[in-house]
Amino acid sequence: MPTISVRLLKGRSIDQKREFVEVVTREAARILKCGPDAVEIVFEDVEKHDWGIGGKLVADK
């Protein structure tokens, strides 16, 4: 059972996540030769003050 973990900066809409889950599930099942029911996707929403890129917090950019 493939489990796909996705970390995102907080702020994506439920519709964006819904579309992502549909498309990624379909393609993962096709590529990995498994049923779509076997694919799990877990979102982790991260605050901008909890994410750093290039030595700076995203909240500070």
Phi, psi dihedrals of residue 4, rounded to the nearest 5°: -110, 120
Q: Say whether 36 is catalytic.
A: no
pLDDT in tens, 7-54: 999 999 999 999 999 999 999 999 999 999 999 999 999 999 999 999
Residue 55 zone, left/alpha/beta (φ > 0; ψ -120 to 50; rest): left
**H-type alpha helices, the chain:** 14-32
pLDDT score for 51: 98
Catalytic hit among 1, 2, 19, 23: 2
List domains and CATH numbers for the chain: 3-60 (3.30.429.10)
- Note the pTM of the prediction, 2 decimals: 0.88
pLDDT score for 3: 98
Chain centroid to CA 38: how far?
Answer: 17
pLDDT score for 37: 98
Whole-angstrom CA distances from 18 to 3, 25, 40 are: 16, 11, 13
